[in-house]
Structure 1
Amino acid sequence: MNRNKTFHLFGAIIATGILSFSGVLIETAMNVTFPLLIQEFEVTTSEIQWVTTIYLLMISVIVPISSYLNQNFSARKLFITANLFFLLGVLINCLSSTFFLLLLGRLLQGVGTGIGLPLMFHIILTRVPTEKRGMMMGIGTLTTSIAPAIGPTYGGLISNLLEWRYIYIFLIPLIVLSLILGLNSIPSQASKERQPLPLRCVFFLAITFISFIMALSAESGIVFALFLTIGLASSFVFVWFNSKTPLLQLSVLKNGKFSLFLLSLLIYQALLLGLSFVFPNYLQISAGFSSSIAGIFMFPGALMGAILAPVSGKLLDRIGAKKPILIGLSTTMVGIALLAALLHTNSLVLLIGAHLVLMTGLGFSYSNLMTCSLNALPTNQISDGNAFVNTFQQFIGAVATALVAAVFSFSQKKYGFIPGTASGALIVLLIFFLLLVISTIAAYSALKKKKCDEIESAKFDF
Structure 2
Amino acid sequence: MNKQLHLLAAVIATGLLSFSGVLIETAMNVTFPILIDQFHINPSTVQWVTTMYLLVIAIMVPLTNFLLKKFAIKPLFIIANLFFILGLTLDLIAPNFTTLLVGRFFQGFGTGIGLPLMFHIILNFAPLAKRGLMMGIGTLTTSIAPAIGPTYGGLLTTNYSWHYIFLFLLPVLVVSLIIGLYAIPLQKVNTASTLDVAHLASLAIFFTGMLMFLNEPTQLLNIGLLMIGLLAGGYSIYRANSSAEPLLRLNVFKNRAYTTALLSFLAIQALFLGGSFIIPTFIQISLGYNAFIAGVVMVPGALVSALLAPVAGRLLDQVGAKKPIIGGLTITALGVVILILACIEQSIGLLICAHVIYSIGTGFAYSNLMTAGMNAIPTAEYGDGSTVFNTLQQFIGAVATTVVATIITITQAYYATLSTGTSYGTLIGLGCLLILIVAALLSCVFFFKKAPLK
TM-score, normalising length: structure 1: 0.89
5+ residue gaps in structure 1?
A: 1-7, 454-462
* 2:343/2:427 contact within 8 Å kept: yes
Corresponding residue of 1:362:
362
* 2:301/2:359 contact within 8 Å kept: yes
- Aligned-partner Cα distance in 2 for 1:10–1:368: 19
Corresponding residue of 2:263:
263
Q: Which amino acid aligns with 1:377?
A: I
3-state SS of paired residue (1:367): helix
* 2:10/2:183 contact within 8 Å kept: yes
Q: Which amino acid aligns with 1:307?
A: L
1:98, CA displacement in angstroms?
A: 1.2
| Match runs of 1:332-351 below 5 Å | 332-351=332-351
Residue 225 in 1 paired to residue 223 in 2?
yes
CA change 1:89–1:425 in 2 (3 A) is same
Corresponding residue of 2:32:
34
Q: Which amino acid aligns with 1:144?
A: T
Corresponding residue of 1:450:
451
Corresponding residue of 1:109:
107
CA change 1:124–1:283 in 2 (3 A) is same
CA deviations 1:31-83 (Å, max 9, x no partner) are 11100100011111001110001101111111112232122223342123112
Residue 427 in 1 paired to residue 428 in 2?
yes
Corresponding residue of 1:20:
18
5+ residue gaps in structure 2?
A: 1-5
Corresponding residue of 2:166:
168
- Aligned-partner Cα distance in 2 for 1:217–1:137: 33
- Aligned-partner Cα distance in 1 for 2:265–2:124: 27
- Aligned-partner Cα distance in 1 for 2:134–2:343: 41
Q: Among 186, 196, 199, which residue is 1:198 paired with?
A: 196
Q: Which amino acid aligns with 2:351?
A: L
Q: Among 59, 65, 68, which residue is 1:67 paired with?
A: 65
CA change 1:392–1:161 in 2 (3 A) is same
| Match runs of 1:4-403 below 5 Å | 14-123=12-121, 138-182=136-180, 193-218=191-216, 220-245=218-243, 246-403=246-403
- Aligned-partner Cα distance in 1 for 2:340–2:33: 22
- Aligned-partner Cα distance in 2 for 1:123–1:372: 17
- Aligned-partner Cα distance in 1 for 2:185–2:380: 31
Corresponding residue of 1:456:
none
Q: Which amino acid aligns with 1:305?
A: S
Q: Which amino acid aligns with 2:408?
A: F
CA change 1:14–1:274 in 2 (3 A) is closer
- Stretch deviating more after TM superposition (182-191 or 134-143): 182-191
1:108, CA displacement in angstroms?
A: 0.6
CA change 1:33–1:379 in 2 (3 A) is same
* 2:133/2:314 contact within 8 Å kept: no
1:161, CA displacement in angstroms?
A: 1.7
1:451, CA displacement in angstroms?
A: 1.9
* 1:260/1:445 contact within 8 Å kept: no
CA change 1:451–1:121 in 2 (3 A) is closer
- Aligned-partner Cα distance in 2 for 1:14–1:265: 22
3-state SS of paired residue (1:197): coil
CA-based RMSD of the aligned residues comes to: 2.6
- Stretch deviating more after TM superposition (214-223 or 89-98): 214-223
* 1:261/1:442 contact within 8 Å kept: no
Q: Which amino acid aligns with 1:427?
A: I
Corresponding residue of 1:440:
441
CA deviations 1:320-344 (Å, max 9, x no partner) are 4333322322222221111111213
- Aligned-partner Cα distance in 2 for 1:407–1:181: 43
3-state SS of paired residue (2:144): helix
CA change 1:425–1:145 in 2 (3 A) is same
Q: Which amino acid aligns with 1:371?
A: T
- Aligned-partner Cα distance in 1 for 2:128–2:446: 34
1:386, CA displacement in angstroms?
A: 2.0
CA change 1:316–1:417 in 2 (3 A) is same
* 2:120/2:386 contact within 8 Å kept: no
3-state SS of paired residue (2:437): helix
- Aligned-partner Cα distance in 2 for 1:189–1:368: 27
Q: Which amino acid aligns with 2:148?
A: I
* 2:263/2:440 contact within 8 Å kept: yes
- Aligned-partner Cα distance in 2 for 1:183–1:433: 43
Aligned-pair identity in percent equals: 50
3-state SS of paired residue (2:429): helix
1:359, CA displacement in angstroms?
A: 1.2
Q: Which amino acid aligns with 1:451?
A: P
Q: How many residues align?
A: 447
- Aligned-partner Cα distance in 1 for 2:190–2:382: 25
1:171, CA displacement in angstroms?
A: 1.3
* 1:158/1:164 contact within 8 Å kept: yes
